[in-house]
Amino acid sequence: QVQLVQSGAEVKKPGASVRVSCSASGYIFSSHYIQWVRQTPGQGLEWMGWISPETGDTNFAQKFQGRVTLTRDTSINTAYMELSRLTSDDTAVYYCAREGFISTAKTKYFYGMDVWGQGTTVTVSS
Amino acid sequence: DIVMTQSPDSLSVSLGERATINCKSSQSILYSSNNKNFLSWYQLKPGQPPKLLVYWASTRESGVPDRFSGSGSGTDFTLTISNLQAEDVALYYCQQFYLTPWTFGQGTKVEIK
């Protein structure tokens, strides 16, 4: 079945970096963008960015520019999110999600994040 | 950035009754080339990842019970849960994907009265 499996929980000190992996199976990895979203304690959901597994193109929320790196390894159908210069405000559950789309003869129409990883808890504490 | 504002922040509904959640975007999210509103609704339960319920404002995702329905266009949208069940207790979020950065509403907590 279609699934995304993320790496395990991380505990980091302020100023450090964290890398979360997202391994895809059950579909053609290169055909769907991978989105990254986080849920912070007491806050809601926050979109971080996306990567095209086919081209490696990325798009980030301005808030994370310069701190987040999105990469992928198509040989193992895995996407990665690395966040640097961590602070306590980055304590959150991080999710990867597949962007669903419907194709017509001319274009693709995205419709939302239809498959989600299980989430990775990142705790930033001194 | 497009700001998504949900109302109410929380609501208590009796089992079997209707829950209505509103979502307003700060600008139109109607995509003219396919006449679709680029808005999705997600359900979030503790310890679980978000679940896509509705996309393009009114299209129910496969496998989602038909008691969940979405409506609206332009800037004003509604998620309705008819015949509320105990398993529907959750946080609900709207999200626009018309323009980056994709943005979510602040969430609405649905509880049983």
Secondary structure letter of residue B83 according to DSSP: S
Which two tokens mark B66? 């038909």
Which helix (H) or strand (E) segment holds residue B44: the answer is strand B39-44
Q: Which of B6, B55, B99 to mutate to test the interface with A (most CBs of A within 10 A)?
A: B55
Interchain CB distance below 8 Å, A116 and B36? no
Q: Alpha helices, DSSP H only, in chain A?
A: none
Taking the CA atoms of A37, A115, A71 and A13 in sequence, report the sign of the dihedral they define.
Answer: positive
Question: Rounded to 5 degrees, what are φ and ψ at A62?
Answer: -55, -35
Give the one of B49, B61, B91 whose C-beta lies nearest to A119's C-beta. B49
The vertex-A101 CA angle with A95 and A105, nearest 5°, equals 160
In this predicted structure, the answer to whether residue B78 has a pLDDT above a threshold of 80 is: yes
Residue B103's pLDDT band, with cuts at 50, 70 and 90, is very high
Residue B34's pLDDT band, with cuts at 50, 70 and 90, is confident
Average pLDDT score, chain B: 97
More confident residue, A105 or B100: B100
| pLDDT number for residue A109 | 86
Nearest to B9 by CA among A116, A114, A36, A42: A42
Residue A34 and residue A98 in contact, taking contact as beta carbons nearer than 8 Å: yes
Give the one of A62, A97, A114 whose C-beta lies nearest to B101's C-beta. A62
Residue B33's pLDDT band, with cuts at 50, 70 and 90, is confident
Give the one of B38, B59, B107 whose C-beta lies nearest to A44's C-beta. B107
Question: Rounded to 5 degrees, what are φ and ψ at B91?
Answer: -95, 140
Interchain CB distance below 8 Å, B101 and A113? no
| pLDDT number for residue A106 | 82
Query: If interface means Cβ-Cβ distance under 8 Å, which residues of chain A face chain B?
Result: 35, 37, 39, 44-47, 59, 61-63, 95, 97, 100, 107, 109-114, 116-119
Question: Torsion over CA of B55, B75, B29 and A56, rounded to 10 degrees?
Answer: -70
Q: Which of A5, A63, A113 to mutate to test the interface with B (most CBs of B within 10 A)?
A: A113
Tell me the count of A-B CB pairs closer than 8 A: 61
Residue B108 and residue B43 in contact, taking contact as beta carbons nearer than 8 Å: no
Tally Cβ neighbours within 10 Å of residue A91: 17
Average pLDDT of adjacent 10-residue blocks, chain A of 126 residues: 98 98 97 96 90 96 95 98 97 97 85 96 97
| pLDDT number for residue B20 | 98
Which residues on adjacent β-strands are paired with residue B20?
Answer: B80
| DSSP SS3 for A2 | coil
